[in-house]
Amino acid sequence: MQDITERLGTEGPGTGDFFIVGDTSSRQVQIRSGVPGDVWAIVVASRNVEEVRARAVARGVVCSPIETYSIGLPQDDRAFFCIVEGITIEVLQFVPKGSADVEVTDI
């Protein structure tokens, strides 16, 4: 996780603010302010984040633990990160708010 968070733009005006553009029925892009301007992560939604992580680990991809967190949306996100060929990838699954089987971290 340290390698991933170190790549997140942390300087410049409006740092930390973000918005999402695109159609919810197709593809969306999250844009976040920060310096340096760069692609921080590619996010892929899945219906089974545990299965995707298990397949990645079986292929030798180093992955962060799966965590559940809230960014103030109607649902929580259950996700893990990995870096493949220098690109940060977040694989996430939307789960009901306050899911009983996981601890939720506010970010």
Convert the pLDDT of each residue in 60-107 to its tens digit: 999 999 999 887 778 899 999 988 887 788 899 989 988 745 444 444
The total number of structural domains that make up the chain: 1
Give the pLDDT confidence score for residue 51 in this predicted structure: 95
Question: Domain limits at 86?
Answer: 2-106
What was the pLDDT predicted at 103? 47
Q: What is the CATH number of the domain that holds 64?
A: 3.10.180
More confident residue, 49 or 40: 49
Q: What's the pLDDT score for residue 55?
A: 96
Burial of 16 (0-12, 13-18, 19+ CB in 10 A): exposed
Q: Please give the model's pTM, rounded to 2 decimal places.
A: 0.66
